[in-house]
Amino acid sequence: MSFKKLNFFNLALALIGLLAAGEAWCIWERASAVQVAEQKLVRVRAQIQAVADAVPAPSRETAALIEADLKRAQSALATMQSELRGRGPAAARLVATKPPAMRTDAFFDLATFVSKSRALAQKQGVLIGPGAAYFGFSLYANEGPETALIEPVFRQRLVASYLVDALLAARPRALLAVQRERPLHADERKARNEALAAAAADPAAAPPAPLESSATLSPDYFDLDARLSAQAPGLVEVSGFRLIFTGQTAALRALLNQLASFELPIIVRSVEVEPAAGEDILAAPAEDVAAPSQPVAPAVSIVLSAPVAKAAKPVATIAPLVAKSISKFTVTVEYVELAPVNAVVAATP
């Protein structure tokens, strides 16, 4: 009987010990979890405090200030874009004039431009070379552009009209050529923008090549180096133009001063100067060519009451130290079109 009581007592002690060990393990586990939670709480509080120190606490006053800053930024963006679209009647005409709807209308629009430009050149005494007979639109001498190109060609015509008028007002010796970038269809423009975006993502990559060499299509076209362009797909669209003419430096200076007035957003990309020679001179007038010295006949006067004066010695005309020279200029410009403010805001991440 005493043996059975001892076994029961030992079993009870063992159970009590197991229960005590289990409770101790539970207490240790809970204490560890509490410690981990306390550490996490400290880190979260530190992060919250850092954010509170860096950014004002969200409140109605802070929200009102942020909204006011946003409106000021949008207003400044709209003002800058308005200024970059040009000013004066040229810019207003470019915005207000609607493109022709039909190919026939586009043809007559180009024909009128060519006729007026020829009349202005004749009035200003500027010779027109064979390469500039149609002022960059010889492709449409007999018919208008295809329907998909009516709008882009019309936009190019408006800019070319401004450039030609500015150049003729500068009175160069001769206009040799007016060239422009090849206008693109919607699909071609999309492919070009994708290529430009890929090149911008990888600065080490070579600039995208033109879809097709423009010089093989028409003498009206030229390829603008993409590395010199302000093209930014979705934000900035550009169109390049090139004027080739002969004359004196004063003509170049007058043209650049006119473009600098920024009536239209036109950026001068390059100016190349070389001596004009051969057919580029296009029969320069006599006053532009230094003539050799020629003797001048003496003027003899006779006075009745005095003896006849001796004839004066012939006096040769003095040639100028620096004869007027004719240079050939190649001016490459870029017309910039900005996307609307809403499009820019939507494209901004």
Tokens representing 247 are 């004359």
User: Which one, of 335, 136, 331, 131, lies nearest residue 244 by Cα?
Assistant: 331
Dist CA 347 CA 214 (whole Å): 31
How does DSSP assign 225-267, residue by residue?
PGGG---BTTTEEEEEEEEEEEE-HHHHHHHHHHHHT-SS-EE
pLDDT of the residue at 61 = 78
Dist CA 250 CA 172 (whole Å): 8
Question: Tens digits of per-residue pLDDT, 189-216?
Answer: 777 667 766 766 666 666 555 555 566 6
pLDDT of the residue at 233 = 60
**Are the C-beta atoms of residues 254 and 101 closer than 8 Å to each other?**
no
Dist CA 266 CA 247 (whole Å): 22
What are the residues facing 296 on neighbouring strands? 315
pLDDT of the residue at 179 = 94
pLDDT of the residue at 143 = 92
pLDDT > 70? residue 311: no
pLDDT > 90? residue 284: no
Listed range (1-5, 30-34, 307-311) with the worst mean pLDDT: 307-311
* Amino acid code (one letter) for 223: D
Dist CA 209 CA 199 (whole Å): 11
* Amino acid code (one letter) for 211: L
**Are the C-beta atoms of residues 139 and 219 closer than 8 Å to each other?**
no
Q: What is the mean pLDDT of the chain?
A: 76
Angle at 38 between CA 32 and CA 23, to 5 degrees: 25
Which three-class secondary structure state does DSSP give residue 105?
A: helix
pLDDT of the residue at 166 = 95
Phi then psi for residue 54, to 5 deg, are: -85, -35
Q: β-pairing, 327-338 with 266-275?
A: antiparallel
**Are the C-beta atoms of residues 252 and 329 closer than 8 Å to each other?**
yes
Mean pLDDT within 30-42: 80
Q: Which residue has the tokens 């805001």?
A: 345
Dist CA 263 CA 84 (whole Å): 9
Question: Tens digits of per-residue pLDDT, 128-174?
Answer: 999 999 999 999 999 999 998 999 999 999 999 999 999 999 999 99
